[in-house]
């Protein structure tokens, strides 16, 4: 298995340096199809400890012309097992994540939740199902997954109204409204005050919204504000495509996503 374990000390650097993040590439659905740049190898899966019982997994995909593009998810320990937030880009990477949780963490992944229907969140669903993981997503995410050629989750989360919350495996799941995608949800881990914003939250101080093919541009900013207001104590914020940071990336995303007036 290829993977890299990054120490917790580096996380602090991630948080404090988040304001210095450079412009991140815009991933369109078309760009996600191409995965080869001559001389550029795909980075191995990485694992970072964020807090007590919480790990971030990061998979990479080579996307021309930018090179390795990361996607983040979480592994949360629950007694003698763990739960997963989002797959990596593909089945192979996701199988590595499941193996790491079982062999290194010694807390096999029993269930997973998926924050929206794009390949960086659901690209490894086949692997999860083959490995016996119970998968969960909203009804809207499952319907969109099928439309987009992705494998849907086996179980449905009963959450559909804007602002509605449910508890799942000790985590709080919020549907803040459409943003990066109409179905995006966020996940809050209250013990360590970690908010997983997924693709709805843009990394660093970028001025780019990234892939807006399926975005709700009229509500994105409000959706971010809804998430920020729902979890005022969460001080570590995890975007899908950048390093962990503080609440400043909530404010920045809400700002750059605000509706443009004609």
Annotated ligand binding at 20? The verdict is: no
Which superfamily, per CATH, for 3-256? Ribonuclease Z/Hydroxyacylglutathione hydrolase-like (3.60.15.10)
Amino acid 36: pLDDT: 58
Q: Using DSSP, state whether 232 is helix, strand or coil.
A: coil
pLDDT tens column, 15-36 = 433 333 333 344 434 334 445 5
Largest CA distance in the chain: 55
Annotated ligand binding at 211? The verdict is: yes
Place 40 in a pLDDT band, splitting at 50, 70 and 90: confident
Annotated ligand binding at 120? The verdict is: yes
User: Taking 80 as the threshold, does the pLDDT of residue 47 lie above it?
Assistant: yes
Q: How far apart are CA 196 and CA 173, in angstroms?
A: 10
Q: In the chain, where are the structural domains located?
A: 3-256
pLDDT tens column, 161-206 = 999 999 999 999 999 999 999 999 999 999 999 999 999 999 999 9
Q: Using DSSP, state whether 244 is helix, strand or coil.
A: coil
Amino acid 41: pLDDT: 87
Phi first, then psi, for residue 233 (nearest 5°) are -90, -10
Encoded tokens for 127: 């692997």
- Residue 18 neighbours by CB distance under 10 Å: 21
Annotated ligand binding at 258? The verdict is: no
Annotated ligand binding at 116? The verdict is: yes
């Amino acid at each position: 298995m290829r993977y890299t374990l990054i120490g917790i000390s580096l996380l602090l650097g991630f948080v404090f340096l988040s304001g210095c993040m450079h412009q991140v590439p815009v991933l369109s659905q078309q760009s996600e199809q191409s995965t080869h740049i001559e001389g550029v190898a795909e980075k191995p899966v990485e694992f970072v400890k964020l807090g007590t019982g919480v790990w971030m997994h990061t998979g990479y995909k080579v996307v021309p012309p930018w090179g390795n593009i990361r996607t983040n998810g979480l592994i949360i320990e629950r007694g003698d097992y763990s739960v997963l937030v989002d797959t990596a880009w593909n089945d192979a990477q996701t199988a590595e994540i499941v193996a790491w949780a079982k062999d290194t963490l010694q807390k096999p992944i029993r269930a997973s939740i998926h924050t929206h229907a794009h390949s960086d969140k659901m690209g490894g669903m086949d692997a999860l199902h083959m490995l016996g993981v119970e998968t969960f997503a909203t009804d809207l995410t499952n319907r969109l997954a099928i439309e987009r050629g992705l494998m849907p989750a086996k179980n449905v989360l009963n959450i559909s109204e804007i602002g509605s919350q449910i508890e799942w495996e000790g985590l709080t799941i919020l549907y803040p409204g459409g943003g990066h995608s109409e179905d995006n949800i966020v996940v809050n881990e209250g013990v360590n005050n970690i908010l997983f914003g997924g693709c709805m939250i843009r990394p660093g101080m970028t001025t780019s919204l990234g892939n807006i093919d399926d975005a709700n541009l009229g509500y994105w900013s409000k959706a971010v504000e809804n998430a920020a207001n729902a979890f005022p104590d969460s001080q570590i914020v995890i975007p899908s495509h950048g390093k962990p940071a503080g609440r400043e990336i909530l404010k920045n995303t809400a700002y750059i996503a605000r509706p443009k007036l004609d």
